[in-house]
Structure 1
């Protein structure tokens, strides 16, 4: 099936074709016709399935082909906001808005993205000129609402992207405040990687007789990802990782650690082993995150070490290896972590280094994904069968076995980093931490593998250009030379804490 067969306008199909995509993914095949029909939609799709295009393409079609869209003289004429897309983090907001720009380039529609951590004044100026599609993070949108600089009374379509992540990050109150300001008659689209009880409750209160789409089993892991457990003693994890990288000649490895300190320490250790590595996490400056992710994407950096904040923010074509150096303390984050590989039908490998302290975490993960993961003991790294489990350090100075909800490295739901207030402003070390950063740089050549390109985001999955705290973002920059589509590698300004 082609995109034109899904009912999209010639202008949108032309833009899609220019990005090099030919065949819609399963979520796009199902979601696009459903959105075009005008009804509400509840969609379950894992990361890497092309869900962003699944809602941006039909929204662009609806707004550009109706009476109001046809009456627009050009994309700079005054207009009211007609579609609102809420995302949990900066880099996701930037990625989605980039998709809107690329796919809508031949329409008369325009868009804007607003987020915290940057000056509000340029956003006010852009909103004053009028935009059709607004992409926003909840906190900064509420700032604009409080100042009266954004009007939502003409919204026709509301999209909640990664709704499960927004709930995990404690945004439910913010979402409710936004919903109260919207017209009651509108189309609502809710996209989520997982369907928890909280998501079902939100959907029941928000959606009216929605069409329901699930392109993967709930909380399932992508079938093309080869998953493996390597049992190892806690003090042998670093030597084992170096051994695996050298023995298998891994050239691009994304490694997840539990803490920022652990990420920094591992980078230092790998460096002493002659393995090039850099870290991205909330305490890193924006320029450092931009550099690290940019070099990792273009293949010049061998190992990128990240904390869970980056689990949904790193989007790289054909990433071959993900390593859980530490198991996540929230089982769902395992699914999001390993979803960095095996994207768009490509094969990938997810390896977890598991010590005795993490056996309970492993049981919870296997219960969630409904499968027992294969174990492989590496010769020379056999774990001590008499070793006793120790409490896992989830935050500085405190030992915990579990962390009940995601929300930083150790806080409860909506209270990142050890219970700091979720709405408190502060530096990058407090509040909800960035989930990774992109540089707008192009990934390795499409010809590097035999896998066909499948439509996801217009940057081939590499369009995020900012670190994502609760709110944050980037400004448009100049596309990298030779890049086939718009984007920007101008670094974002480093933002504050989880709020503004």
Structure 2
């Protein structure tokens, strides 16, 4: 838990005391978006994007935001959290459309772009002006866009801090801010974002601002905020995690030295059985890059996603995967947060995540939009304890993958070892990739 957590809400300027469990609309009366208080135009746009009726998080949080409450919402991935804050903010924006009305902070560039797209889709015909502020894009173009005071700004903290530090006029553009949203709040409240959040909060107005936090998992930081704001904010927490029901969860025990051999075998079996969309999660950028090179050498068409890739390449790779042009995405945990790719059939955890809740975010990429998903976790002899922690968190005992015959798997061993050597040679020639990684680690210290 960061020291920022309790002060975040002390600065938020909440104006209304909460009549917590007494919101006047009964659950049965919230079966349409109109019944939640949204105007005709927004309701029509919601239908256009394919939403038929509100989800649980939307039924509870939209009326609370419309009534002026701060909101802390925790609900599983794929439950419609973006619409739960975007729709009421767009409704309120129609009353007071001047200046930057909403700032939405999110941990990754891809998620920022996705949130901005959803704001645009929900606001069709409303003449909304939105702006995306993320790394990898022109600072000058972003500064010009911010100076024109768009209605909605979606940003990653690091890039927004750059603007705040070097341009006082941009800080002034946020003087009429009405709503601050922290999406994937559990990630933003970790120590890695603490310095950036402090600078941002110091430069935002507090008197008129409402603050909304949304997350898929409860963390000590979220719990601390709930304690601090018990009487001043509306809290919504999903009673269960139905996303688990839509995803078959399994593990495959593998010796650490031949993990890539088992991965190749599973990928070939899955593809031969008609699986068309697979995400492979790794713990490190180095593993992500090496697996991409190795599988390419072995004839599999993969794309990769990690934070050291330029933004245009990240966007292009994600686009190829979403369109089905590439069937396999190799990614670090930047792909585990909020990305809406409804066609993912299987998630493979090449590495067991150190933090159990990251497992929840990863497998949330599969089994979306009513589809049945599957998650397979490769577990080495050094990761058994991590698997047990995940089972404790989820309350589910993972079953072992059936049909994996060691003799069949190890037939590919020599080809894999050869591809590993070739892949490492290629990486050493990619502009000092390993040197860039070492420099990045030093800068983080």
User: TM-score w.r.t. structure 1 length?
Assistant: 0.70
Partner of 2:159: 140
2:116 paired with 1:125: no
Equivalent pair of 1:188/1:207 in contact (CA under 8 Å):
no
- Superposed CA offset, 1:349-381 (max 9, x none): 001111111112112212222232112364422
Higher relative contact order (CA 8 A, sep 6+): 1
Of 159, 165, 188, which aligns to 2:211?
Answer: 188
Structure-2 change in CA distance of 1:109 and 1:304 (3 Å): closer
Deviation of 1:36 after TM superposition, in Å, equals 1.3
After superposition, what is the alpha-carbon deviation per residue over 1:47-85, rounded to whole angstroms, capped at 9, x for unaligned? 221111110001000121x2x34xxxxxxxxx3222222
Contact 2:73 2:214 in 1 (8 A): yes
8 A Cα contact 2:288 2:330, kept in partner: yes
Say whether the 8 Å CA contact 1:221–1:369 is kept in structure 2: no
**In the alignment, which of 90, 93, 96 is matched to residue 112 of structure 2?**
93
> How many residue pairs are counted as aligned between the two chains?
381
Q: Distance in 2 between matches of 1:360 and 1:306?
A: 23
The residue that corresponds to 1:80 in the other structure is 99
CA RMSD of aligned residues (A): 2.8
**Per-residue deviation, 1:108:** 4.4
User: Is the 8 Å Cα contact of residues 44 and 216 (structure 1) preserved in structure 2?
Assistant: no
Indicate yes or no: 2:38 matched with 1:8.
Answer: yes
Q: Tell me if 1:283 matches 2:308.
A: yes
- 1:145-198 per-position Cα deviation (integer Å, ceiling 9, x unaligned): 332122222122221111111123622333233333313233221112222112
Q: Is the 8 A contact 1:124 1:149 kept in 2?
A: no
Q: Aligned partners of 2:63, 2:359: CA distance in 1, in Å? A: 32
SS of 2:217's partner is coil
Pick closer, same or farther for the CA change 1:32–1:239 going to 2, 3 Å.
same
Q: Which 10-residue stretch deviates more, 348-357 or 234-243? A: 234-243
- Give the match for residue 420 of structure 1: 443
CA distance in 1, matches of 2:312, 2:158: 23
Unaligned runs of 5+ in 1: 70-78, 385-415, 423-500
Question: 1:83·1:133 contact (CA, 8 Å) conserved in 2?
Answer: yes
Alignment of structure 1 residues 283-432 onto 2, 5 Å: 283-312=308-337, 314-376=339-401, 378-381=403-406, 418=441, 420-421=443-444
TM-score, normalised to structure 2, is 0.78
Shift of the 266–116 alpha-carbon distance from structure 1 to 2, 3 Å rule, reads closer
Q: Deviations over 1:91-123 (max 9, x none)?
A: 222221222122122224422222233222222
Seen in structure 2, the aligned counterparts of structure 1 residues 134 and 283 have a Cα distance that, compared at 3 Å, is: closer
Aligned residue number for residue 212 of structure 1: 235
Task: Identify the residue that residue 226 of structure 1 maps to in structure 2.
Answer: 248
Distance 2:364 2:162 in 1: 33
8 Å Cα contact 1:190/1:203 also seen in 2: no
Q: Structure 2: state its 5+ residue gaps.
A: 1-30, 411-438
Structure 1 residues 418 and 327, CA gap change in structure 2 (3 angstroms): same
CA distance in 2, matches of 1:304, 1:58: 34
The superposition leaves residues 308-327 of structure 1 with CA deviations (integer Å, 9 ceiling, x where unpaired) of: 23221643113110011111
In structure 2, C-alpha distance between the alignment counterparts of 1:354 and 1:270, rounded to whole Å: 20
Structure 1 residue 242 displacement after superposition: 2.8
Which of residues 175, 182, 205 in structure 2 aligns to 1:160? Answer: 182
Secondary structure (helix, strand or coil) at the match of 2:187 reads: helix
